[in-house]
């Protein structure tokens, strides 16, 4: 398994090396971005493309010509879209910096500038620095750091039985990962006791796990459900309250429609999956409430077919996939914000988007908006990103073709521009 992953990563590196040698150009963060006239581009306006000149002034989009223009970048008729986002992955903070670096390079090559890591090894400042994340010339990452589950809950089984043997977290053991990579919260007292430890890791948001909440009592003390249980759903509102008091958003893993219900009523900000193993659809009232509360739901649809039989029985897969499509339509029809996330360490969100396109639930325009606007907004809700608007960060991708006509054009990236600078020579 480990070897297979390494080979995959190696192939990825080979494929992206040429594109990436250009990305190593270092622009110091202290350097003030020049005023750039961006000419001959067709700019995405949220519906279609406008031919116009746009300016990057101090790293922000301006539509009016500034008093001083330092340089001109001829976009040569390219279609200009905001950068892409990946709202659910775990390929940074693996404990193996080479793996993290490869993942970062793949993201940038694929045009993904914003990534949300939904729980992994907490990254310390010096590691962030070595990986050079959250800088003008690299990837912007929001990190959950250690996530919150119950004793024996998900992701404990995954960490102990799969990730550790695969070579993740080489400097850690089962014992040292507990209450660090994940926190076990079984009571309000645990939450009180461990909350300061959770905050000490300086998370960008709080990741929580529900797993068949309607069977919580049954699964809680039963070791046959090791790794297939989650938090007591009644603790979730308390976690939300604490997190919000600390200006932290809450993201919740959900496995079935009951979990979705508990997450929505607890007032979480983000739901990290469509109900992953759901055999029955989300209740219409819960979809409506999610929309009303402005909760964003992350897709993670492509991963479902690859889940091991231990997690998802083969005979249940057709029904789970059918439910997935029903849920996507239900959430779309009720106006719930849907963000793109793969939950797949070998993906960067590109394969997830391809999978969603294949389902035929969304047209290309909708997918493009989900991938740029909605995804950027759920990862960095405080920033003006994900749209090409006056005053927004001057970050974009220049594509060789119109992605609304043919979504394959998202693979044809001519150049990348981030916060007022080219990411390529």
**Chain positions contacting Zn ion, by CB under 5 A:** 118, 343
Distances from the Cα of 267 to the Cα of 181, 351, 402, angstroms: 24, 30, 39
b/e code 220-237 from CB counts within 10 Å (16+ = b):
beeeebbbbbbbbbebbe
What is the C-alpha radius of gyration for the chain, rounded to an integer number of angstroms? Answer: 21
- The two tokens of residue 5 are 């992953």
* Between 41 and 85, CB nearer to Zn ion: 85
Interior CA angle at 362 toward 360 and 367, to 5°? Answer: 125
Q: Minimum CB separation from Zn ion for residue 156, in Å?
A: 14
* Between 56 and 118, CB nearer to Zn ion: 118
Handedness of CA 327, 83, 119, 89 (dihedral sign): positive
Distance, CA of 54 to CA of 250 (rounded, Å): 36
* Between 18 and 306, CB nearer to Zn ion: 306
Q: Minimum CB separation from Zn ion for residue 90, in Å?
A: 6
Q: Where on the phi/psi map is residue 300: left (φ > 0), alpha (ψ -120 to 50), or beta?
A: left
Instruction: Give the residue carrying structure tokens 């940074």.
Output: 92
* Between 131 and 163, CB nearer to Zn ion: 163
Q: Minimum CB separation from Zn ion for residue 341, in Å?
A: 8
* Between 138 and 251, CB nearer to Zn ion: 251
* Between 198 and 272, CB nearer to Zn ion: 272
Residue nearest to Zn ion (CB): 343
Q: Minimum CB separation from Zn ion for residue 208, in Å?
A: 12
Handedness of CA 214, 215, 221, 225 (dihedral sign): negative
Q: Minimum CB separation from Zn ion for residue 39, in Å?
A: 42
Q: Minimum CB separation from Zn ion for residue 344, in Å?
A: 9
């Amino acid at each position: 398994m480990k070897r297979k992953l390494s080979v995959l990563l190696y192939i990825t590196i080979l494929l992206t090396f040429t594109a990436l040698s250009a990305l190593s150009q270092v622009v110091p963060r202290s350097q003030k971005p020049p005023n750039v006239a961006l000419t001959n581009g067709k700019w995405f306006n949220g519906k279609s493309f406008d031919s116009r000149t746009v300016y990057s002034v101090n790293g922000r989009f301006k539509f009016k010509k500034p008093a001083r223009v330092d340089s001109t970048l001829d976009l040569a008729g390219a279609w200009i879209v905001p950068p892409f986002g990946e709202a659910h992955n775990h390929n940074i903070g693996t404990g193996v910096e080479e793996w993290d670096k490869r993942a970062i390079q793949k993201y940038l090559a694929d045009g993904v500038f914003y990534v949300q890591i939904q729980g992994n090894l907490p990254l310390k400042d010096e590691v962030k620095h070595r990986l050079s994340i959250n800088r003008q010339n690299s990837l912007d990452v929001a990190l959950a750091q250690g996530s919150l589950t119950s004793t024996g809950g998900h992701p404990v089984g995954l960490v102990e039985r799969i990730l550790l043997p695969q070579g993740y977290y080489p400097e850690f053991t089962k014992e040292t990962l507990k209450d660090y990579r994940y926190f076990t919260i079984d009571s309000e007292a645990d939450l009180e006791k461990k909350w300061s430890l959770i905050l000490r890791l300086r998370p960008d948001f709080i990741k929580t796990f529900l797993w068949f909440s309607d069977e919580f009592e049954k699964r809680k003390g039963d070791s046959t459900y090791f790794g297939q249980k989650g938090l007591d759903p009644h603790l979730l509102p308390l976690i939300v309250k604490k997190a919000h008091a600390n200006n932290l958003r809450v993201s919740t893993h959900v496995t079935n429609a009951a979990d979705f219900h508990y997450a929505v009523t607890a007032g979480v900000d983000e739901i990290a999956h469509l109900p992953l193993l759901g055999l029955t659809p989300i209740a219409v009232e819960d979809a409506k409430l999610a929309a009303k509360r402005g909760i964003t739901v992350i897709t993670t649809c492509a991963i479902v077919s690859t889940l091991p039989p231990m997690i998802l029985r083969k005979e249940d897969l057709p029904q789970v996939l059918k439910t997935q499509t029903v849920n996507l339509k239900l959430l779309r029809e009720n106006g719930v914000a849907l963000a793109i996330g793969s939950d797949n360490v070998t993906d960067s969100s590109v394969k997830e988007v391809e999978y969603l396109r294949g389902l035929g639930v969304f047209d290309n325009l909708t997918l493009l908006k989900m991938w740029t606007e909605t995804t950027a907004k759920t990862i960095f809700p405080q920033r003006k990103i994900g749209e090409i608007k006056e005053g927004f960060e001057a970050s974009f991708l220049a594509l060789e073709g119109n992605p609304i006509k043919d979504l394959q054009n998202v693979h044809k990236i001519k150049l990348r521009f981030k916060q007022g600078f080219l990411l390529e020579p």
